[in-house]
Chains A and B, each alone.
Chain A
Amino acid sequence: MARKYEITIGIECHVQLKTKTKLFSEVDNDARGKEPNSCVSPVDYALPGMLPRLNGEAVRLAIRAGAAMNAKINPDSRFDRKHYFYPDSPKGYQITQFYHPIIGEGFVELPSGKKIRIEHAHLEGDAGKLTHFDTYSLVDLNRVDTPLLEIVSMPDISSPEEARDYCKELWRNMVYAGVTNGDLYNGNMRFDVNISLKKPEDTKLGTRAEIKNLNSFRSIERAAAYEYERQSKLLDKGEKVIQETRGWSDATGVTTGQRSKEEAQDYRYMPEPDLPPLSLTQDFIKAEYDKCPALPADYRARFTKVITEDTLEVLLDYPELVNRLAEIADGGQPVDYIANLFASVLLAEENQSLLNDNLPSANQLTELAAMKSKNELSSTSAKEVFIKLFEPKHCDKTPLELAKELNLVQENDSGALEAIVDAVLAKPETAKAQADYKAGQEKVLGFLVGQVMKESHGKANPSAVSEILKKKLK
């Protein structure tokens, strides 16, 4: 689509790190399905005299996340207080890294090959959750000081589609790196999209609006597209875009202006006196950096010749499937057939629930692919065995055992097949077809193959049957 204005987008993303405990206290960090205020310590309540204690695992995960963004790790970083008054923060400030963040410049490479630069990323504690009622609000502190990594991109993104691609690739990288559960539904990654418009000939960027708190790739793309329309209409009319925070509604499909938390954005940042600074050695940084496993970009490079781009992009949303393919490839076995089974059978809508079950092992999948290529299983039967291997009652069986049990092994033994063919040819009801074939009507061969398949209860290999019939009816 040709656009009248150029779009400039920068994105801030909050990634919830999957530590066992919170960033500054020793209570459970996983509050899913738990009662309000049940994962809260006196530190989270900011009771007088309570001191934060930094979670070392959050530091390690931040470094690994930095590796997943090709980023420089700053050996020296420290924490600051960001003050604001709101009931979601009993302390009256958020502990964050304003002046000296742990992660410096990096980049995320999109599937298109374009690199989106990362400005920096820093550790900070989350706020509590508010629920609003008619005359009052309720505060749940379970989420207070859950460790977040805020990743700030440079304004390198130039379309709503690219904004979606960036967020998706960042999500994949963080999930592959193992630093977050990446559960978008539960807000494990939340995106703030800054967007401004300018005429192509203008050198200065336009005034930006920030759309806060998006948590799905689709809403990111839709909200950015809506914001383009809204801002371009204002500019067309000669009006000005106001710099403000806006909220997005999936239901109405529009963004609306929000009142700011604190009228005066005066956060009075100051060094956090309760937390000593970090001064990491290169050895420590390298040890964590090296723990970052293969990322989507690595798999694209590795599988580019064997799996089609479309199939691979679909599979990359499922790290456990891609890891399994890598395991098979590590064993020197082909992955193309299995990749297609994953994409076209497992991820078909009616089978998606299998993802919650037991994923067949590399050995099982390799054997299944071999049986298929040796024609011991028809493609329909191979799919059936594949699906059944996910079931807990079958998951310990080999594909051969399971295929035998289901009576699906294809008969390839030519002696056995010939016997069945002979029996069928001896039947009076096939006599006319035989005569027609010999008279040159080649299409009746299909009928005869069908009769043999029926006689074999579907277990004969149809192409082998066809060859035998042709030979016998010469």
Chain B
Amino acid sequence: MEVTEQEINHLAMLSNFSLEPSEKDALKKDLSGIFKYIGKLDELDTSGVEPTYQVFEMKNVWRADEIINQDADREALLALTKEERDHQIKVPKVL
């Protein structure tokens, strides 16, 4: 399956990436290759086969409802963000 420029633009918008024309060309080529490789699986008839959601076969993994103090405190976590203001994360205006 060939990935179109339009699809690359759509994905870039959904992923919040801005891409140079040369990057788009490279991605188009790489993604098309990946689709072609994965597309091999379409040759198999999987009707009636239960989809595989996970490979570990675990189920009902949950924890108790108890508060645990976190090693990373508020300031340490806020320090990881680009910009902070009044203990909040400052971002460009969105609406």
What's the Cα separation between A337 and B65 when bound, in Å?
Answer: 42
Q: Tell me the chain B residues, 18-65 only, with Cβ under 8 Å from chain A.
A: 53-54, 56, 58-65
25 A-B pairs within 8 Å (CB atoms) are namely A20-B65, A20-B66, A21-B67, A26-B67, A26-B68, A26-B70, A27-B67, A37-B77, A37-B87, A45-B80, A53-B63, A87-B89, A132-B95, A134-B93, A137-B90, A138-B88, A138-B91, A259-B95, A264-B14, A266-B14, A268-B14, A276-B56, A277-B53, A277-B54, A279-B59
Contact between chains at A130 and B94 (CB < 8 Å): yes
Q: Which residues of B contact A263 (CB under 8 A)?
A: 13
CB within 8 Å for A276 and B93 given contacts A37-B77, A56-B62: no
Chain A residues with Cβ below 8 Å from B68 are: 21, 26-27
Q: SS class of chain A's interface: helix, strand, loop or mixed? A: loop
A136 to B67, CA, bound (A): 33
Categorize the interface residue count of chain A.
Answer: 35 or more
User: Which of A9-35 touch B at CB < 8 Å?
Assistant: 19-21, 26-28, 35
Q: Is the CB of A276 within 8 A of B89?
A: no
Do A135 and B67 have beta carbons less than 8 Å apart?
no
User: B residues within 8 Å of A by Cβ?
Assistant: 10, 13-16, 53-54, 56, 58-68, 70, 72, 74, 77-78, 80, 85-95
**Interchain residue pairs A-B with the least CB separation, the first 9:** A57-B65, A56-B62, A138-B88, A26-B68, A276-B58, A139-B89, A54-B62, A279-B59, A87-B91
Q: Is the CB of A139 within 8 A of B91?
A: yes
Chain B contacts for A56, CB-based, 8 A: 62-65
Give the docked Cα–Cα distance between A38 and B65 (Å).
Answer: 18
Does B53 contact A78, Cβ atoms closer than 8 Å? yes
- Bound CA–CA A36/B81 (angstroms): 15
In this complex, the member of A20, A35, A138 whose beta carbon has the largest number of chain B beta carbons within 10 angstroms is A138
A86 interface hit (Cβ, 8 Å): yes
Q: Is the CB of B94 within 8 A of A137?
A: yes
Confirm or deny: A231 has a beta carbon within 8 angstroms of a beta carbon on chain B. no
* Complex interface residues of chain A between 258 and 304 (CB less than 8 A to chain B): 259, 262-264, 266, 268, 271, 273, 275-280
Query: Which secondary structure dominates chain B's binding surface?
Result: loop
Which among B54, B64, B94 is the interface contact of A276 at CB below 8 angstroms? Answer: B54
What is the CB-to-nearest-CB distance from B26 to chain A, in angstroms, rounded to a whole number?
Answer: 22
Which residues does chain B contribute within 8 Å of A138, judged by CB atoms?
A: 85-86, 88-91
**CB nearest neighbor in B for A57:** B65
For residue A268, which residue of chain B has the nearest CB? B14
**Other 10 A-B pairs with CB < 8 A, given A130-B94, A276-B58:** A21-B68, A27-B68, A40-B74, A45-B77, A47-B80, A78-B53, A85-B16, A139-B89, A268-B14, A276-B56
Interchain CA distance A56-B61 in the complex, whole Å: 8
**CB of A185 closer than 8 Å to a CB of B:** no
Residue in B13, B60, B66 whose CB lies within 8 Å of A278: B60
A55 within 8 Å of B by Cβ? yes
In the complex, chain B residues whose CB is within 8 Å of the CB of A42: 70, 72, 77
Residues of B within 8 A of A45 (CB): 77, 80
Contact call B65/A273, Cβ cutoff below 8 A: no
Given that A27-B67, A83-B14, A135-B93 are contacting pairs, would A140 and B59 also be in contact in the complex, using a CB cutoff of 8 Å? Answer: no
B89 to chain A, nearest CB (A): 4
